[in-house]
Copies of this chain bind each other. A is one copy, B any other.
Amino acid sequence: MLVAVDLVVLTVRNDRLLILTIDRGVDPFRGQAALPGGFVRPDEDLLDAAERELSEETGLSELRVHLEQLATYGHPDRDPRRVISIAHLALVPDAADPTAGGDAAAARWTAVGDLLDDPGRLAFDHHRILSDGVERARAKLEYSPLATAFCSEAFTIGELRQVYEAVWDTEIDPRNFHRKVSKTPGFVVETGATTTRQGGRPAKLYRRGPAELLHPPMLRP
């Protein structure tokens, strides 16, 4: 049985949640959009394989990438070659555009909303994997500080709020959000600097704090 890893790579750009898709350069599904991925090597750990494929097929530098296992898909009919795939979820800051490589003929960012609405656009069972990945990301933003993985090293609380709004596809009251984030221990720490890059009154800049879990959590509306 063949064993592969696939990747749901998400970023937030211009207040929209985007996913990295490739155009397949080989059969099956040659020419169709798909998630990046590839076969696991015999002496390789699963997470290492996912990191390698991310680098090979998309050219994304692996710095500041959050990567975790998502789920495994193994229905006998999901791939004519009988491949089981361990899907992974990657969250990256708004980055330079990806460059295709490996078995990928092209690599680009695609709006998640458009793909969710069109189950036939992606090859294999990748629409299902995408749905599961997006739901995982949405859930993790509630109880973990992972939203910071979408931000640059130093960010304002307004920028962090825009990440939540893009991933959850909701509007959030800026004043309550500010109070919650700054009162949740270890979520963010001040850098001491400020910025006016969002316009208006200068905003304090923050880095991700030491907390792994948010107490209390940030709940979706």
Give the B-binding residues of A (Cβ under 8 A).
Answer: 1-3, 40, 42-46, 69, 71-72, 74-76, 82, 84, 86
Contact = CB atoms under 8 A, between A and B. Distances in A.
Contacts of A86: 72, 74, 84
A-B CB proximity, top 8 nearest? A46-B74, A72-B72, A1-B3, A72-B86, A43-B76, A45-B75, A3-B84, A69-B71
Contacts of A74: 3, 40, 45-46, 86
Contacts of A44: 76
Nearest to A216: B219
A177 to B, nearest CB: 20
A82 B44 CA distance: 10
Contacts of A3: 1, 3, 74, 84
B69 A72 contact: yes
Which label, helix, strand, loop or mixed, suits the secondary structure of the A interface? loop
Contacts of A2: 1
Given A3-B3, A84-B86, 7 more contacts: A1-B3, A3-B74, A3-B84, A40-B74, A42-B76, A43-B76, A72-B86
A93 to B, nearest CB: 26
Contacts of A69: 71-72
A60 to B, nearest CB: 22
A76 B74 CA distance: 20
Most chain B beta-carbon neighbours within 10 Å: one of A42, A45, A72: A72
Contacts of A75: 45-46
Contacts of A71: 69
Nearest to A85: B72
A18 to B, nearest CB: 26
Contacts of A76: 42-45
Contact of A1 (B1, B45, B72): B1
Contacts of A84: 3, 40, 46, 86
Contact of A46 (B42, B43, B72): B72
